[in-house]
Chains A and B, each alone.
Chain A
Amino acid sequence: DAGVTQSPTHLIKTRGQQVTLRCSPISGHKSVSWYQQVLGQGPQFIFQYYEKEERGRGNFPDRFSARQFPNYSSELNVNALLLGDSALYLCASSSPGLAVEQFFGPGTRLTVL
């Protein structure tokens, strides 16, 4: 079975631009979460979506938004990019239920110049 997939693998943008990152969860998983990992730090929670509804939001500005589609795939959008948005963006999916494991994708490496 395919794991969590993310696209693109790498991305280079300039300050002020907008970016869209994509995530496809494991088949049967209805929950998708997004994380930002800056070099040298642990992943920081951005959003969680379940059944197309936002279920949780981390401490990120409104420039960050996300959505989940009927097939449970998800997009993360970041507007007005800043140099500090350069990071590895990770997507994780999980099956329904409490206290379940999350399966992470390989991430998208975003570089803002």
Chain B
Amino acid sequence: DAKTTQPPSMDCAEGRAANLPCNHSTISGNEYVYWYRQIHSQGPQYIIHGLKNNETNEMASLIITEDRKSSTLILPHATLRDTAVYYCIVTRVNDMRFGAGTRLTVKP
């Protein structure tokens, strides 16, 4: 599975969009990009995933570059409850190999 690189931490103002980047330059053609988040002491929560097209659901949008070497998770209107560690995972099978993730802090 491809390795991912994420910034260790980011801040975002409440009500603004949070844009979380992820680099996955070694991604293979059949590997998906997944995003999960983990709020303190809880199990990870699925957010969104995609292969090569941009995806949107009720929680977030996923923008994947045309060469698929990087992606961005967008939380359109961040709230205090979005404070969490966000994990970007690239995999072709259903076992998720988590890295260290990005700790997003949403501030009032």
Q: Which residues of A contact B (CB under 8 A)?
A: 4, 31, 33, 35, 41-45, 48, 55-56, 58, 88, 90, 92, 94, 98-107
What residues of A have a CB within 8 angstroms of the CB of B2 in the complex? none
Q: Which residues of B contact A (CB under 8 A)?
A: 32, 34, 41-46, 49, 51, 85, 87, 93-101
* A43 and B96 form a contact (CB under 8 A): yes
Given contacts A102-B46, A103-B46, A105-B43, contact A48 B94 (CB under 8 A): yes
* B46 and A45 form a contact (CB under 8 A): no
**Please, which residue of chain B has its CB at the minimum distance from the CB of A58?**
B95
Q: B97's contact among A45, A99, A106, A107, by CB below 8 Å, is which?
A: A45
What residues of A have a CB within 8 angstroms of the CB of B99 in the complex? 42
Given contacts A42-B87, A99-B49, A99-B51, contact A104 B43 (CB under 8 A): yes
* B94 and A102 form a contact (CB under 8 A): yes
What residues of B have a CB within 8 angstroms of the CB of A31 in the complex? 94
**Please, which residue of chain B has its CB at the minimum distance from the CB of A106?**
B43
What residues of B have a CB within 8 angstroms of the CB of A90 in the complex? 43-44
**Please, which residue of chain B has its CB at the minimum distance from the CB of A95?**
B94
* A107 and B43 form a contact (CB under 8 A): yes
